[in-house]
Amino acid sequence: MTFRIRRVTTTRSGGASAPPFDTFNMGDHVGDDPAAVAANRARLATAIGLGEHGIVWMNQVHGDRVVAVDGPVEGAIDEADGLVTATPGLALAVVTADCVPVLMSDARAGVIAAVHAGRVGTQKGVVARAVESMVARGAHVADVSVLLGPAVSGRNYEVPDAMADEVEEAVPGSRTTTARGTAGLDLRSGIAKQLNELGITQIDVDPRCTVDDPDLFSHRRAAPTGRLASLVWME
């Protein structure tokens, strides 16, 4: 049996949030009206057909903790940046506004993961931790496929030289040059190389840059702002 894998990334439009969180904000930690965020999340759950308790959320902390879940969760998983499940019909969500949403799946084994991979979490190895957790639940790296969702691109992710060197040392392939000719980071490039070294070659990259695309939330472009949600689930 092979499971059907579904992946969704939201945009800014179609929700209940007022500026500067307009309108489809999925982040409940950014200063938006909690009622608006709840309405947005409920609308998303209905739209993907999984219902109110069909999505598992995280309170992300830029760490490397990955949590396995077997069913619906009240509220959100605290202090986590990765989720793994082998339960069909349960969507795993990551919220971002420049960081990389990493959605992974082994359709044959029936194991999926969603990871919040910002600069710090990527350096700490959160993506590798998620792969380890998937394998522990029966996934095979040769069968794992990955989507790296919309995120800040290297041309727009300027950092100090020392920081670029530090990230490059931890995650080779991350350092790049920005459109201004300064030191920058392309986390999706570094993560893709890391995944390759782990034996994962089925990698798709959403080409959208959160800074460049006004239909997406970007903390670097305009803070405060809302958060996108990227979800993966099995049918």
Strands (E), 3-132: 5-9, 55-56, 58-59, 66-68, 77-78, 82-85, 91-96, 100-106, 111-117
CA distances for 32 relative to 10, 100, 226, angstroms: 17, 22, 8
The residue range of the domain holding 21 is 5-234
Q: Report how far Cα 194 is from the mean position of its chain's Cα atoms.
A: 16
Domain count, the chain: 1
Give the relative orientation of helices 187-197 and 126-136 as an angle to the nearest 10 degrees.
40
Token pair, residue 97, equals 């506004």
Residue 38 parent element (H or E)? helix 34-47
24 with 80: CB under 8 angstroms? no
Q: Quickly list DSSP for 160-176.
A: -HHHHHHHHHHSTT-EE
148 touches 102 (CB < 8 A): yes
Report the C-alpha gap between 132 and 115 in whole angstroms. Answer: 13
Residue 165: both structure tokens together: 């060197």
**CATH number of residue 216's parent domain:** 3.60.140.10
pTM of the model: 0.96
CA-based nearest residue to 139, from 203, 91, 86: 86
List C-alpha distances in Å: 71 to 6, 57, 86, 87.
17, 12, 9, 7
pLDDT in tens, the chain (235 residues): 899 999 999 999 999 999 999 999 999 999 999 999 999 999 999 999 998 899 999 999 999 999 999 999 999 999 999 999 999 999 999 999 999 999 999 999 999 999 999 999 999 999 999 999 999 999 999 999 999 999 999 999 999 999 999 999 999 999 999 999 999 999 999 999 999 999 999 999 999 999 999 999 999 999 999 999 999 999 9
